[in-house]
C-alpha cells in the first residue's frame, strides 16, 4: 500500500492544501519498504487529491485539511488521516503498524488565505486564530 504525507520543513505540514511537498511511502507487512519526496504541483483541494491519486496513494496524512480536500480525497478512494504532527517517517511507521489515529481535524472556513504564522487547524472543526 502506498501512502502520502504532507511535508513542510522536514515535518508534517499543518495544512494539506499548503504543503510544499509530499512524501510517498510504500508499506508492506507493517514496514516501510521505500519512500520518496515529491514537490507539490500547486495548492488547493482540486489539484492535490488528483496528485495524490496519480501517485497511487491510498491514504494521506496531514495536520489538517479543508472539507473540500477531504471530500476530493474520499471521492478518489483515499483515506484521510488528520491531526498528525511531527516527523513524517515516524508517522508512516505508525501507520504501517496500524497505530496512527486520525483526529478528524477539518478546517471549516476553507478558501480564504488565512494560514499565516500562528494559524493552524484545531481539532474541533474550525481554524484556530
3-state SS record for the chain: CEEEEEEECCEECCCHHHCCEEEEEEEECCEEEEEEEEECCCCCCCHHHHHHHHCCCCEEECCCEEHHHHHHHHHCCCEEECCCCCCHHHHHHHHHCCCCCCCCCEECCCCCCCCCCCCEECCCCCEEC
* Cell numbers standing for residue 17: 492544501
* Whether pTM exceeds 0.85: no
Instruction: Domain ranges for the chain, please list them.
Output: 2-128
**What CATH homologous superfamily does 2-128 map to?**
Dinitrogenase iron-molybdenum cofactor biosynthesis domain (3.30.420.130)
Q: What is the pLDDT of residue 102?
A: 86
Q: Dump pLDDT digits (tens) for 50-96.
A: 999 999 999 999 999 999 999 999 999 999 999 999 999 999 999 99
Q: What is the pLDDT of residue 128?
A: 30
Q: Which tops the pLDDT comparison, 105 or 31? A: 31
User: Sign (positive/negative) of CA torsion 112, 84, 90, 2?
Assistant: negative
Q: Dump pLDDT digits (tens) for 10-44.
A: 999 998 999 999 999 999 999 999 999 999 998 76
Q: What is the pLDDT of residue 103?
A: 80
Q: What is the pLDDT of residue 109?
A: 44
Please check the confidence at residue 117 and state whether its pLDDT lies above 70.
no
Q: How far apart are the first and last CA of the chain?
A: 36
Amino acid at each position: 500500500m502506498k501512502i502520502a504525507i504532507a511535508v513542510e520543513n522536514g515535518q508534517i505540514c499543518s495544512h494539506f492544501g499548503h504543503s510544499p511537498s509530499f512524501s510517498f511511502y510504500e508499506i508492506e507487512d507493517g514496514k516501510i519498504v521505500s519512500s520518496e519526496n515529491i514537490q507539490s504541483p500547486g495548492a488547493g483541494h482540486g489539484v492535490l487529491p488528483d496528485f495524490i491519486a496519480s501517485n497511487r496513494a491510498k491514504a494521506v496524512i496531514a495536520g489538517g485539511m479543508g472539507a473540500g480536500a477531504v471530500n476530493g480525497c474520499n471521492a478518489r478512494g483515499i483515506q484521510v488521516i488528520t491531526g498528525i504532527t511531527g516527523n513524517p517517517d515516524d508517522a508512516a511507521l505508525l501507520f504501517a503498524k496500524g497505530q496512527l489515529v486520525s483526529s478528524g481535524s477539518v478546517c471549516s472556513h476553507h478558501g480564504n488565505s488565512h494560514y499565516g504564522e500562528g494559524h493552524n487547524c484545531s481539532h474541533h472543526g474550525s481554524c484556530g486564530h
